[in-house]
Structure formats: C-alpha cells, structure tokens
Amino acid sequence: MIKANLLPLKAKLEIETLKRRKTIWFYGILACALSFGFLIILYGMNQYIQDQLKATENVISVEEGSAVAKESKWIESSMAEMNKHLSVIEDILKKPVIQLTVLDELAKIKPAGVFYRNMKISIISKKVSIAGYAKTRSDVLVIKESLQASSIFSSVESPFSNLLQTSDVEFSFNLVIK
C-alpha cells in the first residue's frame, strides 16, 4: 500500500519543529533532574565532610602538638581544598539551564526555510556561534533582527558575507549571552 503525506510543507515543518522542541525539553528536564540528584549527593558529601572536620577539631584540641595534630591539620587543609572543588562542580552543574534557554530561543526565532547546521555554546565565555542555511537574504535579516531583539543575547555579530547572496544563503552569527 502506498503511503502519501498530503500535509502542506509549512504544516510538516511545524510538526517537525514541535517534535524537536519536545525532544529538547525532554532532555533538558532529564539533565536538570540528573543535575539535581547530583547536587543532593554533593550536599550529603559536604555535610559528611563538615562532620568529619568537627570531629577532627575536637581531637586536635585534646592532643595539641602531637603527630595526630599535624596529621589533622593536613586533613583539614585537604578538606578545605575539596570543598573548593565541590563548589566549582556545583557551579558547573547549574549551567545546563543556560544551554536549554539558548536552544529554545533559537528554535522560536527560526523562520520557515532556515536550517541551523552548526552550533557551539561556550558556557564559560558565554558565547554562541551559529551557522546555517537560509533560502533568502531576507530570512537572514529576519533572524538577525530577532536575535538583536532577544532578551537573552547582548551582542550579535553578523559577517558581511551573510548579505552577499540573495538566495541559498550560508549564514553565521556570533552571539554573547546576557
């Protein structure tokens, strides 16, 4: 039996966009849930380490000046260093939300006939690079105006090469996240 899809192209693209958004949200929520679980584990570890530090301080006060005191000072400095590392890990785990926000915004502003081919998001420098294809130059200008009007991006850089062709345009943008 022959299967025919008689939906107009615009409806097909809308369905495809909805599917992609659902997928992005699903993986975003999954990433947030995993991050939250990891944060709970880190919090438990932090509490355990603090309890161990308190116990070590009690031992130090009893045996001041002994070898145990020297070792406990080393343990204390090691624990302080570990706490610094844990806070860095905690900061990194909070960042996936930024990526999801950027992806959602880019999906919202994409006109029909535009396809993103490459995307790079740097959480540390808060920079985003996008490359893609548009059917017309006016589609590229619509994207540029939408990016500039977006509340997520503070800077939009568009090379002059984006405007050279009138159709079948290969475009790129460099953005800075607010």
Q: What is the CATH number of the domain that holds 149?
A: 3.30.1360.100
Of 135, 85, 95, the residue nearest 112 (C-alpha): 135
State how far the Cα of 135 lies from the Cα of 13, in Å rounded to an integer: 14
Residue 130 maps to a domain: yes
Torsion of CA 127, 132, 138, 143, to 10 degrees: -30
Residue 135 maps to a domain: yes
Contact 41, 34 (CB under 8 A): no
Residue 35 maps to a domain: yes
- Claim to verify: residue 89 and residue 117 sit in the same structural domain: no
Residue 6 maps to a domain: no
Residue 13 maps to a domain: no
Q: What is the mean pLDDT of residues 69-88?
A: 85
pLDDT of residue 122 exceeding 70, the answer is yes
**Domain residues for 73?**
29-93
pLDDT range class, residue 35, cuts 50, 70, 90: very high
State how far the Cα of 75 lies from the Cα of 26, in Å rounded to an integer: 42
Give the count of domains, the chain. 2
In this predicted model, which residue has the larger pLDDT, 24 or 101? 24
- Claim to verify: residue 120 and residue 169 sit in the same structural domain: yes
Q: What is the mean pLDDT of residues 127-154?
A: 91
pLDDT range class, residue 30, cuts 50, 70, 90: very high
Give the pLDDT of residue 60: 72
Residue 38 maps to a domain: yes
- Per the confidence metrics, is the pTM higher than 0.75? no
Give the pLDDT of residue 152: 87
